[in-house]
Each structure stands twice: as C-alpha cells, then as structure tokens.
Amino acid sequence: MEGRDLCLIDQRLLPHALKILRLSTYPEAIAAIREMAVRGAGTIGVTGGFAMAQAALAAPAGGGFWQEVERAAGAIAAARPTAKNLSYAVDRVRAAMKGAPGIEEARRRAVAEGQAVYDDDARMTEEIAKAGLSLFQGRRSVLTHCNAGWLAYPGWGSALAPIYLAHRQGQSVFVYATETRPRSQGAKLTSWELTQAGVPHALIADTAAGHLMAKGEVELAVVGADRIAANGDTANKIGTYTLAVLAREHRIPFYVAAPSPTFDAECPSGDLIPIEERDEKEVLEVSGLLATGEAATVRMANPGTCAKNPAFDVTPARLITGFITEQGIVEPNAQAIGRFLHSR
C-alpha cells in the first residue's frame, strides 16, 4: 500500500499492456477482485487483507467504527467464493484488530497485518520453490494449468515457484502451459511470466494435453490450488480435474503446489467447496488484439447459444501425488494434512 492506496497490476490487460491500478477504497478493491483485474488465490487473499486495512482507515472514529469494519469484512470475503485465501486474509486482519485499546491502534494493526499477510505469502512461496526442486531431478518437461506464478501468488508463485528455481539453478526445464479457456490465463499470463523469466515453454490447447502425455512428452504435472479440503480434495481452475485423470492414466506424477492458507481444515471434502459460476460471456466471447493492434472482444459461438461457465472444478485426493507446501511434500490424505496444519 501507498498511504491508503492499493497498487496492483491490472491482469486483464496482460500480456498486451502493463498498467498499475491504484485503488483508493475497499469497494474498489472488491470490484477489482470480482472483475478479475486481480486473480489467483494468493493475490486475491493479499488484496482482501489490504482492503480490510482500507476499510479500517476509512471507518468513522465514532461508535460506528466496528460495525463498518464488520460490514466491510463480509463484503470483502464474499467477493469471490472459492479461494480460501480471501476469507483467511480477512479473518486474520480482523483478528489482529480485536482487542486494540483504541480505534487508532486498531487501524495501525489492520495495516500492519495486511502487510504481514503479503510478507508471509512471499516467504512461503520461496519455501515452496525449494520444496519442489527435487521433483525436477531426472525430469525436464512439466505441464502446468492456468496461472500459478507470481501474478497469482505474491513472491515466487505456487506451481511455477520450483520451475523458476530449477531454471535459475541451471537445470534444463521445459514447460507446457495450457491456454486455460475460457479466460486464457495460461495464454495471457503464464506465457508472459515464463517469457519474462526466460524459461523455455510452449503454449498448448487445453485439449492437447492427453496427446502429449501419450507421446511421453510430459514427465511431471504441477498445478496450483484455490482451496484444499481437509481430506485433500482440491479446487482449482476448471480443467484441472481432467488433467489429473489423464496424468493418472499415463502414470505421470501430479502435484499441487499450495501454502498452508489455501488448506481449509473446516471443509471435510471437496463436495462442500463452493464453486463459482461466472458470466456465460466468458465462454461465448474471446478478447485480444486485432491485426491493427486494437483491443477487441468478438463473439465465437452461434447466435442464440447459451453457455455454462463453472470457474473451478474439484480434483479428488486419490488423483494427487502430493502437495508441495512451505514445509515440504505433504501426502494427499486427511492424516498427513492434519499433521501439516497442526505444525504451522
């Protein structure tokens, strides 16, 4: 934050333009989350934490202070339902404010805790990079889905974190990045990140993954997560479940990279993870640059056709090889996850 302003990259414009959004109020931060100007579980969470700080700074100093903070907390946490990191950050900032001897101290604590959420996330992603590095011993080609780099999780990212570290250490790494319809985060964001880092990669259609696996061109799959249930069932960008099934069929290790705030100990299984349904226009239309360089959105589907647009799916724990966390590789079962969360 700069004063009361929250400064973020507008991810909707990437890779064709780099613009910094300056958000002055928590309702603006909520709108940025809902409209996917900011996206990715960790980045959503950090934005929510700073939005709580904005709410505390703007709330009246009189008797309505705490009521306004609670109202803001509910609105921020509801901005997008699937990612656990959002409610985690909101609850963490709210808890830090409780018991403050006065309103000014509550405001100070809100700002400090919002920054602490960011700092902790960055530290955990660096540990994830180290924890996942061993997976690249003897393996070169890795498949990833959606965007789970530093745009999605502050610091090193989640799924891309060990890839970045392996590349920096001189290991030969090649990434297959799925385009990730309908919003094309792989095409627009992951490919942009990998290009900036100089990591060799190829963009593939979502439907090409099985073909490449069958040909032996994929040795490892690593994805991020938006929420992990207590039993290991994992919600991530739509299409993840399909890739996990394909990986199992072709005996390819399938890992999920996520720090502890993404785990939801109060959610027993994936059946209870809320799945966000987004506007059908995301499926019916596509946006990009025309040959003239002008940005445009065009309709792809037949006129009169409607669409269903679940933003996430749930991969059962039985299809996951392991979780790459800030404390190392965690097995995908309730007992191992429970020990991991208890040791935080």
Q: Which active-site residues does the annotation give?
A: 226
CA-nearest of 296, 341, 275, 288 to 15 is: 288
- The helix or strand, by DSSP H or E, that contains position 38, with its residue range, turns out to be none
Q: CA-to-CA distance for 231 and 235, rounded, in angstroms?
A: 12
Nearest-5° Cα angle at 207, 194 to 303: 105
Q: CA-to-CA distance for 290 and 284, rounded, in angstroms?
A: 18
Residue whose pair of structure tokens reads 């959503």 in the numeric block: 44
Q: CA-to-CA distance for 38 and 21, rounded, in angstroms?
A: 10
Three-state DSSP class for residue 95: helix
Q: CA-to-CA distance for 237 and 181, rounded, in angstroms?
A: 10
Q: Pairing state of beta strands 234-237 and 312-315? A: antiparallel
33: which residues sit within 8 A by CB, 6+ positions away? 39, 44, 47, 48, 79, 80, 86
Residue 283 and residue 182 in contact, taking contact as beta carbons nearer than 8 Å: yes
